Structure 1
Amino acid sequence: MSNLTRHDPFSVESIPDLFQGLFSPMRLLTPFADVKIDVTESDSAFTVRAELPGVDKKDIDVKIDGNVVSISAKAERSKALKEGERVIRSERYSGQLSRSFSLTCDIDDALATAKYLDGVLTLTLPKKTTASRKPLQID
């Protein structure tokens, strides 16, 4: 014998289903819109890893202003078609993206380094050392 259950669309279990896919059309328009980052800290430096898949190294720009780090990149996709070809579906992203964030202390931009390998930008950002303050001798 089969059991019948009544579906309550306003039950607590149904609420996540109401919002599932609500913002999906927006994400389809800009699947590459934000740069995902991981930031770690040691005593002397910050390490930032940013995902920039499919971006050419020459199209990445990193700026450091005090404790604010800005990463921007341009993703270009070739649109060359061979004779007799036509596009059925194109989901690859072309455009610009950027991300800015602040860290807990100023960065020594003269010693900062950047590497780009396999779609991941790795920044090593040394902390700026504060000059030790010595008391002023009063005569």
Structure 2
Amino acid sequence: MANLTRWSPFKTLARFEQQTPFEELFNGFGLRPRWSELEMPEMRIDVTENERSYAVKAEIPGVGKDDIDVSIDGNQVSISAEVKRETKKKDDEREICTERYYGQVYRSFGLPGEVDNTKASAHYENGVLTLDLPKKGNGNARKVTIS
């Protein structure tokens, strides 16, 4: 099976030389391209399910656990996080290249069934947020006979 990657028109431009990244076109002009600021990093997730619950693993590197918010509404799960930038620099230093993102990241998705948000739990370790989302039981479900 082939791996799919998302194509970004700002990484390379095919109508110019194939091997030359778009950012290198600005070298020597004293301009700093701002295309990288338009890109927000993706929060990659894995979702699995068993009979009792859904398990979600979300990659959110470089974030403190206090800066992550998870909300559950029915079958809708929303994860947001604030990526903070370290601003410790010495007086004689200047930035030459800055590729690390800082700001807000957000991901929202729907699950096939409703989640019991009172029993949901979350754990964050080594840049991976793990959610255990128990399925809501059909407490009042009954079979209806047709006459």
Q: Do both share a fold (TM > 0.5)?
A: yes
Match of 2:77 among 64, 69, 92: 69
Residue equivalent to 1:22? 9
Aligned equivalents of 2:80 and 2:128: distance in 1? 13
Aligned equivalents of 1:98 and 1:108: distance in 2? 22
SS of the residue corresponding to residue 58 of structure 1 reads: helix
SS of the residue corresponding to residue 129 of structure 2 reads: strand
Distance change in 2, residues 1:82/1:23 (3 Å): closer
Residue type at the aligned position of 2:104: Q
SS of the residue corresponding to residue 104 of structure 1 reads: coil
Q: What's the RMSD between the two structures over aligned residues?
A: 2.3
Question: Is 1:131 aligned to 2:139, yes or no?
Answer: yes
Question: Is 1:58 aligned to 2:66, yes or no?
Answer: yes
Unmatched runs of 5 consecutive residues or more in structure 1: 1-19
Instruction: Kindly state the Cα deviation for residue 99 of structure 1 after the two structures are TM-superposed.
Output: 0.4
Aligned equivalents of 1:59 and 1:89: distance in 2? 26
Instruction: Kindly state the Cα deviation for residue 28 of structure 1 after the two structures are TM-superposed.
Output: 3.5
Residue equivalent to 1:119? 127
Residue equivalent to 1:47? 55
Question: Is 1:92 aligned to 2:100, yes or no?
Answer: yes
State TM-score, norm by structure 1.
0.75
Distance change in 2, residues 1:89/1:70 (3 Å): same
Instruction: Kindly state the Cα deviation for residue 32 of structure 1 after the two structures are TM-superposed.
Output: 4.7
Larger-gyration structure (1/2): 1
Percentage of pairs with the same residue:
46
Distance change in 2, residues 1:99/1:89 (3 Å): same
The count of residues paired between Structure 1 and Structure 2 equals 117
Residue equivalent to 2:31? none
Instruction: Kindly state the Cα deviation for residue 109 of structure 1 after the two structures are TM-superposed.
Output: 0.5
Unmatched runs of 5 consecutive residues or more in structure 2: 1-6, 12-21, 23-33
Instruction: Kindly state the Cα deviation for residue 38 of structure 1 after the two structures are TM-superposed.
Output: 0.3
Residue type at the aligned position of 2:101: Y
State TM-score, norm by structure 2.
0.71
